[in-house]
Amino acid sequence: MALVERKIDEQGVALLTLNDPDRRNALSQAMVGDIVSTFDWLEREREARAVVITGAGDAFCAGADLNALAGASQASLRDIYEGFLRIAESPLPVVAAVNGAAVGAGVNMALVADVILMAESAVIDTGFVRLALHPGGGHTWMLRHLVGPQATAAMVIFGERVDGVRAERIGLAWKCYTDGELLPAAIALAARGAAVPGELVGRIKQTISEMHTVATHEEAVDKELLDQIWSTTQPEFRERLAALQQQITSH
């Protein structure tokens, strides 16, 4: 049985489903291997231009396999991290459709996506302190950058669980949907990302990632300039600019 199911639609959206519902889609070594190989395949074959990640059953991802934690070493933990770090490294636009509980490293799986959408019944639960375990995989860094230090402390130290409605309110999720609306909404959003030229998406993702190191507006202007100039030399820009000019002159 594939631990990551994949379906690619005619819009170029790959729907990836973490598929181990009996274990609440926990990150085992086997599932991590499937995630890595799936993204390698998607990027190599170029059939997909955007990705939606969700979970089978009633959970998104329950975090790291508990057996892996029991015998943890730096090497074994980094092997688990590779499941979500591979997603973070992808130039493809990625939407996390959090359909149920995301716990521990499962929260990291959502945080590495470009956009998080949540179902009303879904819950973000960092869960580390219940095991007297320090967060890992860049968890606090990602969470702090998204929601700030106070919300991060509330969730990580004090164990606050955040449902879909509250996640949207504090900026942890972009939008919250009813359970039935979540997946269609995620696919529709991903389709808009799939319509953007692939190399342009990759460059924009890289720019967004690096902007946290930029201190001033002037530096930001300089940082974006070369890539903006590059984009004006691409055929897709010239085609879309000509179409827009034609639309304006025809009115």
Residue-wise pLDDT tens digits, 131-182: 999 999 999 999 999 999 999 999 999 999 999 999 999 999 999 999 999 9
Give the number of other CB atoms < 10 A from CB of residue 17: 21
Q: Quick one: pLDDT band at residue 114, thresholds 50, 70, 90?
A: very high
Reduce the DSSP state of residue 25 to 3 states and report it: coil
Report the pLDDT value the prediction gives residue 54, as an integer from 0 to 100.
98
Domain boundaries, the chain: 4-194, 198-249
Two structure tokens written together for 109: 């799986």
Rg (CA), the chain: 19
Report the pLDDT value the prediction gives residue 66, as an integer from 0 to 100.
82
E strands present in 120-250:
123-125, 162-163, 175-177
* pTM: predicted TM-score of the whole model, two decimal places: 0.95
Reduce the DSSP state of residue 29 to 3 states and report it: helix
Question: In the sheet that 4-8 helps form, which strands lie side by side, from edge to edge?
Answer: 4-8, 13-18, 50-55, 94-98, 115-119, 175-177
Report the pLDDT value the prediction gives residue 1, as an integer from 0 to 100.
73
Report the pLDDT value the prediction gives residue 250, as an integer from 0 to 100.
84
Query: How far is the C-alpha of 6 from the C-alpha of 19, rounded, in Å?
Result: 10
Report the pLDDT value the prediction gives residue 60, as an integer from 0 to 100.
98
Report the pLDDT value the prediction gives residue 28, as an integer from 0 to 100.
92
**Is the predicted pLDDT of residue 108 greater than 90, yes or no?**
yes
Across 67-76, 122-131, 143-152, least confident range: 67-76
**For 19-58, what is each residue's pLDDT tens digit?**
999 999 999 999 999 999 999 999 999 999 999 999 999 9
Query: How far is the C-alpha of 120 from the C-alpha of 164, rounded, in Å?
Result: 5
Partnered with residue 6 across adjacent β-strands are 16
Which is higher by pLDDT, 68 or 56?
Answer: 56
Which CATH architecture does the domain made up of 4-194 adopt?
A: Alpha-Beta Complex (3.90)
**Is the predicted pLDDT of residue 234 greater than 90, yes or no?**
yes
**Is the predicted pLDDT of residue 193 greater than 90, yes or no?**
yes
Q: Which amino acid is at 60?
A: F
For the chain, how far is it from start to end, CA to CA, in angstroms? 56
HSE value, Cβ hemisphere, 13 Å, CA-based, for 221: 3
